[in-house]
């Protein structure tokens, strides 16, 4: 049976891998966004936030005397690359990408809430504070996506009906 400290370390590594996967997905998505400048700008902002989140998680992991999981990080990036490549084939890539991003943000939110509870359990206030900071950024991105999904969908439909490039 794993101790709470061991679980926290494992979940921190999982969260780091998740952030590396998120980075790869967003980098692939933002490269192709041509007709949605507001969405592109917000994703670029979140890419910077996500890099900071991964760095903060890595510091928490190292403080616990372990390191990130290269295998998990690589697997996450591979999955993200496949997701990103599949978007190229979708005629409605921007809409599906926005929905996938919204869903992924909620996975991250759940992960950080779990990490906060585990950090509280083991008395790791530094990790708790890091995870609370990351959680706020993820919640803000999820809220932004939720608020802008109708607008993105409408713009996509308008462009498609006008016969101009709509998917990106």
Mind listing the pLDDT tens digit for each residue in 64-123?
Answer: 988 875 555 455 444 544 455 444 445 788 999 999 999 999 999 999 999 999 999 999
For residue 62, how many C-alpha atoms fall within 13 Å in the half-sphere facing its CB? 6
- The answer to whether 39 touches 148, Cβ cutoff 8 Å, is yes
Encoded tokens for 19: 């952030």
pTM above 0.75, yes or no: yes
Q: Which helix (DSSP H) or strand (DSSP E) does residue 101 occupy?
A: helix 93-122
Least confident residue range of 32-41, 84-93, 129-138: 84-93
In a domain, residue 110? The reply is yes
- The answer to whether 86 touches 25, Cβ cutoff 8 Å, is no
In a domain, residue 168? The reply is no
Range of the domain at 157: 4-162
Number of structural domains in the chain: 1
Average pLDDT in the chain:
88
In a domain, residue 81? The reply is yes
In a domain, residue 154? The reply is yes
Q: At what angle do helices 70-89 and 93-122 cross, to 10 degrees?
A: 160
CATH number of residue 125's parent domain: 1.20.1260.10
In a domain, residue 167? The reply is no
In a domain, residue 122? The reply is yes
Could you tell me which of 129, 116, 1, 106 has the C-alpha nearest to residue 59? 129
User: Cβ of 82: how many Cβ atoms within 10 Å?
Assistant: 13
In a domain, residue 57? The reply is yes
In a domain, residue 23? The reply is yes
């Amino acid at each position: 049976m794993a101790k709470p400290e061991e679980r926290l370390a494992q979940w921190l590594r999982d969260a780091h891998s998740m952030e590396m996967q998120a980075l790869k997905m967003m980098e692939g998505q933002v490269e192709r966004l041509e007709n949605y400048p507001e969405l592109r700008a917000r994703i670029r902002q979140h890419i910077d936030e996500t890099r900071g989140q991964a760095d903060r998680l890595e510091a928490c992991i190292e403080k616990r005397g372990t390191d990130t999981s290269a295998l998990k990080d690589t697997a996450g990036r591979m999955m993200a690359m496949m997701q990103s490549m599949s978007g190229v084939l979708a005629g409605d890539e921007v809409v599906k990408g926005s929905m996938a991003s919204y869903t992924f943000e909620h996975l991250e939110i759940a992960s950080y809430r779990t990490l906060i509870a585990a950090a509280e359990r083991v008395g790791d206030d530094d990790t708790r504070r890091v995870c609370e900071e990351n959680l706020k950024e993820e919640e803000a991105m999820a809220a932004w996506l939720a608020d802008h999904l109708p607008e993105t969908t409408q713009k996509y439909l308008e462009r498609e009906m006008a016969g101009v490039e709509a998917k990106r």
